[in-house]
């Protein structure tokens, strides 16, 4: 798992075995529980973490830690592109 800045610069690489029981949300939660100080050093006030739907089970943790997050809207079945009015991120 990588922590990446908006300019594409890799800030941190976190090693953790991923399998069918350790999805992205479980990995993120484990990293925060294992070493919260190290993880929180990457986030400053007003930062926003962009997550995909694989992180939906970790959003409560992010809220408790007061880390703002956004999740891109998803395509519906048989949809190849989002309408312009649906392209904004969900979760405010």
pLDDT at 50: 86
Q: How many domains does the chain have?
A: 1
Residue 92 lies in a domain: no
Model pTM score: 0.68
pLDDT tens per residue across span 68-78: 998 887 788 88
pLDDT the model gives residue 60: 92
* Residue 49 lies in domain: 2-86
Q: How far apart are CA 13 and CA 4, in angstroms?
A: 9
Answer whether residue 92 shows pLDDT above 60: no
- Residue-wise DSSP of the chain: -EEE-TTS-EEEE-----STTS-HHHHHHHHHHH-HHHHHTT--TT-EEE--GGGGGGHHHHHHTT-EEEB---PPTT-SS--GGG-SPB--
Spell out the long-range contacts of 46-51 with Cβ–Cβ below 8 A and sequence spacing 24 or more: 50/89
- For residue 58, being part of any structural domain is answered with yes
């Amino acid at each position: 798992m990588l922590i990446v800045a908006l300019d594409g610069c890799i800030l941190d690489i976190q090693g953790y075995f991923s399998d069918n029981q350790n999805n992205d949300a479980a990995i993120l939660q484990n990293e925060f529980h294992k070493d919260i100080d190290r993880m929180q050093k990457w986030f400053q006030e007003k930062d926003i973490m962009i997550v995909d739907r694989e992180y939906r089970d970790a959003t409560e943790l992010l809220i408790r830690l007061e880390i703002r997050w956004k999740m891109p809207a998803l395509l519906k079945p048989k949809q190849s592109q989002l309408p312009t009015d649906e392209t904004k991120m969900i979760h405010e």
